[in-house]
Amino acid sequence: MKTETMVRTYKDPKDYEKDVKKLSKDGWTILNTVDHQPRAGLVRTFSGLGLIGSRPKAEMVVTFTRTR
């Protein structure tokens, strides 16, 4: 038997939900889920108080696994 692992990053919960439904039909299960907040870009970093630009949306990093 061979174990496969796949990592995907989602910015939108709806994309995550669609993917989970599709992948579960193919035998994938969720191994781990982590929320990740990307760092501010250069414009926000160098604008002093951060008035220019906006904080990036949190991302969800999901690890899937399946055994064949």
pLDDT digits (tens, 9 = 90+) for 3-18: 999 999 999 999 999 9
Percent of the chain with pLDDT over 70: 76
Dihedral sign from CA coordinates of 67, 33, 41, 13: positive
Domain count of the fold of the chain: 1
What pLDDT score was predicted for residue 41? 62
What pLDDT score was predicted for residue 57? 80
Work out the pLDDT band at 58, boundaries 50, 70, 90. Answer: confident
Tokens of 15: 């994309």
Check: CB of residue 62 under 8 Å from CB of residue 11: no
In angstroms, rounded to a whole number, what is the distance separating the alpha carbons of residues 16 and 9? Answer: 9
pTM over 0.85: no
Is residue 47 over pLDDT 90?
Answer: no
**Side chain identity at residue 55, one-letter code:** R
If residue 5 lies in a helix (H) or strand (E), which one and from where to where? strand 3-10
Domain ranges, residue 14:
3-67
